[in-house]
Amino acid sequence: MLTKEILLKQTNHFFATCAKGVEDLVQKELEQLAISDTKIHTGGVAFSGDIESAYKACLWSRVASRILLQLKEFSIASDDDLYSAIISVDWSEHFSEHDTLAIDCFSSHTVVNNSQFATFRIKDAIVDQFVQNTGQRPSIDRETPDIRINVYLSDKQCLLYLDMSGEALHKRGYRQSAGSAPLRETLAASMLYRAKWQRFYEQGLPFYDPMCGSGTLLIEAAMMAANIAPGILRDRFGFSGWKPFARDEAEQEKWRAIVQDAEDKKQAGLASAPIISGSDNSEQLVGIARSNIKSAGLDSVVKVFLRDASKDITPYTEKPGLIVTNPPYGKRIGQVQMLRTLYHRFGVQLKTHFNGWTAVIITSEDELAKSIGLRAFRKNALFNGALKSILYQYRIDSHKAQTPDRAAEAAGESDASTVSPAAKRQPSEHALMFANRLKKNYKHLKKWARKNDVSCYRVYDADIPQYAVAIDKYENWVHVQEYQAPKTVDKNKAFLRINDVIDVVADILETKQQNVVLKVRKKQAGSAQYQKQDKKEYTTTVTENGLRFIVNMYDYIDTGLFLDHRATRQLVRKLANGRSFLNLFAYTGSVTVYAAAGGASTTTTVDMSNTYLNWAKENMAINGFTDGVYGSGQHRFVREDCLKWLQQAIDDNKKYQLIFIDPPTFSNSKKMDTSLDVNRDHAALLSGCLALLEDDGQIIFSTNAKSFKLDESLKEDCFIKEITSKTTTEDFRRKPLHRCWCLTKQEAALDICV
């Protein structure tokens, strides 16, 4: 029979699956297990050997994901061929109808190209065979089956495997709990192999992970150094429920001998393990790491402390060794930028305290790696799931001086590992100027804000040309926008200067570092400036003049509340009592909230973005203005191209007593029939608004367009007064962002605005 033949054969065919890019590591592991007949493929290594080879690979491979035993190789032209090939295997030799089953199928076949459908056909073939032979059928259990079958279908060949691993091999059995983004154990082992950890522990040199999280790298490093089999703590593998193993005492004895050999090696290895330590700035994660380390039986070898990698890490031994760590990546646009602070400060700690050490980090963001201020002597591509990451390896030599003209290269392509800690800690003249200016601005504006009950305001706006950023304080949050540097500005100098900013902004503005968000404000085409930059969301609520507003600190270039319009909104509030109000190009509806708070009889909010219109409704709702739905009620919300809506409103003879219009400078959104250029089109827009305006009403028109010039022909149809000074507040006095006008049909109505 098939199974007996497999067991009697000296050679069987296996496949060790793994993440892309580490196939060579799996091959070396197999060779160390005396398995020489190996061949690398994308995503794994094929090898041949006896059944004991598979047992050893399951127990000892640190990088492989699964060890698969090949049962059959075949070809198919249809799903019926697939069914026939599967039902031809005598499945009773492998498991019984009382066992549970899971099937994983991956298909790139031209005809049978739906993996889910192929899985159903495979399942049907197996179940039908048992029903025909026994009248009973095995159950499906996708989570913890007794037997797991793997099938790979392609036009060239189809392969049927029995999974000898069961649960994926990264599940070692020691993890009691984890943080929010735990490092997969097989990836941690791959990092350690690439970092040449073996060379260090064979010399008795220490290991340190300064951002250890739940302790995965520490545990994997200790298990390597102590020669502990990674699967030693698992109580079950895939072959445990396989008939030829479960019902054969000789096979089980082979396995017990393999495990006993691993136990003997573990005891000998623990006695000679080097110093392995870790730290994290989270007390909760330190507790989790210690729990996992104890579960792995390594609490006598591995020690974990509460430390902040950006401030106070120092070696726990005089011998220089190996640092390997997995810093946070950050995928939101604001998070990625602000993590530069952590990486930059961590790099300073390395150069200050860890001379002679080798440091290794993994990240998917090249920009973050540059912030460390060291040049990698080796880079390796690794995959964290589907996310491609790079392993950066640095040698820290802090005693070689770096000449001033190369300082800017520290974040770029040069070998910045030679920067001296003393030189690195000395801020430049411009950096000191920036810090002093920010302190001066904040001291003045903080008093002004407290006096005027303002909690969200601009603190700095490119006051010093070398530091072209805008810094806004939103209560406990700080929003930093880096203006895109001109091509004439050296990108490395610009990079270092923004590091100067993020290094001090949290301390000066009295907030937590994690509450600082940095974004790059580039010139945007069309409506891109309003588009979401990330699929994630993070919102908080702030208060302005007694009203509440939802702001999103991460996901968009703008937060949802234009701070320069604070006084404009107050003016609308003052004018709105008992009047009908229209808000065109409404964005998140903050001006509508002020109008409603001012006692507007009705409000109409128009914007073509469903996202922002929903945001406007939420802003209204949290302030208690909920009487309205789309198109009806006291507070109306209209999703429409404002140009199209304006024309329709004129045709319908709609009238409003107060109109606010703040159009984008330029837009060519796909939702619009034509493009909008405020310099070109404002006269037509305002003429349309005048057609909707009651005789005693006012139009408040604002624009951020540079070099804007109001069309003089408008004065033939209305009275106009620029009120920019009235709508500009103290925090924007030096550098106003907008210009603002009041337009009326009656001169007396103009007096109310001015």
Give the pLDDT band of residue 405 (cuts 50, 70, 90): very low
Predicted local distance difference test score (pLDDT) of residue 130: 96
Is 414 a residue whose pLDDT tops 60? no
> Tell me, what's the pLDDT at 519?
82
CATH 3.30.2130.30, domain 2-163, yes or no: yes
Quick one: angle between helices 51-60 and 23-32, nearest 10?
A: 120
Residue 29: φ, ψ to 5°: -60, -45
Angle at 633 between CA 629 and CA 634, to 5 degrees: 120
What is the arithmetic mean of pLDDT over 184-207? 97
Higher pLDDT, 591 or 6: 591
CA distance 616 to 638: 11
For residue 445, is pLDDT > 90? yes
Q: Where are the domains of the chain?
A: 2-163, 185-226+272-425, 429-522, 539-753
User: How far is 750 from 726, CA to CA, in rounded Å?
Assistant: 14
Would the pLDDT of 274 be above 80? yes
Q: Can you tell me the mean pLDDT for 317-324?
A: 94
**Phi, then psi, of 285 in degrees rounded to 5:** -70, -35
Q: For residue 103, what is the enclosing H or E element?
A: strand 100-107
Q: Which of 361-370, 404-413, 641-650, 671-680 has the highest mean pLDDT?
A: 641-650
Average pLDDT of span 26-52: 95
| 8 Å CB contact between 458 and 509 | no
Q: Is the pLDDT of residue 371 over 90?
A: no
**Coil, helix or strand for 107?**
strand
User: Residue 129: its pLDDT value, please?
Assistant: 96
User: Which two tokens mark 200?
Assistant: 């260090």
pLDDT category, 335, cuts 50, 70, 90?
Answer: low
394 against 431, higher pLDDT: 394
pLDDT of residue 738: 96
Question: CATH for 539-753?
Answer: 3.40.50.150
- Looking at residue 671, its pLDDT comes to 61
Grade residue 411 by pLDDT with cuts at 50, 70 and 90.
Answer: very low
| 455: pLDDT strictly greater than 80 | yes
- Can you state the angle between helices 610-622 and 590-597, rounded to 10 degrees? 30
Q: Is 8's pLDDT higher than 60?
A: no
Among 106-110, 150-154, 329-333, which stretch is predicted with the lowest mean pLDDT?
329-333
Give the pLDDT band of residue 366 (cuts 50, 70, 90).
confident
pLDDT score at 151:
97
Q: What is the pLDDT of residue 666?
A: 86
Answer whether residue 431 shows pLDDT above 50: yes
Q: CA 113 to CA 747: how far, in whole Å?
A: 74
Distance CA 230, CA 718 (A): 81
Closest CA to 102 of 114, 82, 119: 119
Q: Do domains 2-163 and 185-226+272-425 have the same CATH topology?
A: no
Q: Which CATH superfamily is domain 185-226+272-425 in?
A: Vaccinia Virus protein VP39 (3.40.50.150)
| pLDDT over threshold 50, residue 424 | no
554 or 94, which is more confident:
94
Q: For residue 465, what pLDDT is reported?
A: 86
More confident residue, 216 or 501: 216
How far from 292 is each of 125, 169, 223, CA to CA, in Å?
Answer: 43, 17, 13
Please determine, for residue 408, whether its predicted confidence score (pLDDT) is greater than 70.
no
Please give the Cα distance from 402 to 391 (Å, whole number).
25
What is the pLDDT at residue 386?
Answer: 79
Per-residue model confidence (pLDDT) at position 333: 45
Banded model confidence at residue 436, pLDDT cuts 50, 70, 90: very high
Most confident among 286-290, 369-373, 421-425 (mean pLDDT): 286-290
- Looking at residue 169, what is its pLDDT? 97
665 burial via Cβ count (<10 Å: 0-12, 13-18, 19+): middle
Average pLDDT over residues 657-673: 84
Give the Cα separation of 245 and 255 in Å (integer): 9
Whose tokens are 């004895």? That residue is 253
Contact 61/230 with Cβ under 8 angstroms? yes
Q: Is the pLDDT of residue 31 over 50?
A: yes
* 3-state DSSP percent of the chain in helix, strand and coil, to 5: 40, 25, 35
Min mean pLDDT across 99-103, 398-402, 672-676 is at 398-402
CA-based R_g, the chain, Å? 33
Q: Which residue has the higher pLDDT, 695 or 330?
A: 695
Q: How far is CA 672 from the centre of its chain?
A: 32
Mean of pLDDT over the chain: 88
Place of tokens 């509030």: 573
pLDDT at position 311 is 85
Q: Name the H helices within 33-164.
A: 51-60, 79-87, 115-134
- Look at residues 591, 587, 623 and name the one whose alpha carbon lies nearest to residue 607: 587
**pLDDT at position 331:** 56
Check residue 753 and give its pLDDT.
Answer: 83
Has this prediction a pTM greater than 0.85? Answer: no
- Burial class (CB within 10 angstroms; exposed 0-12, middle 13-18, buried 19+) of 433: middle
Classify 429-522 by CATH class.
Answer: alpha beta
Mean pLDDT, range 517-544, rounded to an integer = 60
Q: What is the pLDDT of residues 553-607, one digit of tens each?
A: 888 888 999 999 999 999 999 999 999 999 999 999 999 999 999 999 999 999 9
* Cα(122)–Cα(69) distance, integer angstroms: 17
| Strand 158-163 to 207-209 pairing | unpaired
Q: Give the model's pLDDT for residue 365.
A: 85
pLDDT single digits (tens) 689-700? 999 999 999 999
**What number is the average pLDDT over the span 518-526?**
58
Q: What is the pLDDT of residue 263?
A: 95
pLDDT for 532 equals 45
Res 663 pLDDT > 90: yes
Residue-level pLDDT at 533: 41
Q: Which residue has the tokens 């279908």?
A: 153
Terminal-residue alpha carbon distance, the chain: 98
CB atoms within 10 A of CB 106: 14
The residue whose two tokens read 């390896």 is: 393
Q: Which two tokens stand for residue 598?
A: 């001012």
- Residue 710 above 90 pLDDT? yes
Please name the residues in contact with 715: beta carbons below 8 A apart, sequence gap of 6 or more: none
Please tell me the predicted confidence (pLDDT) of residue 630: 46
The number of CA neighbours under 13 Å toward the Cβ of 634 is 16
Please report the pLDDT score of residue 428 as a whole number. 76
pLDDT at residue 526, rounded to an integer: 37
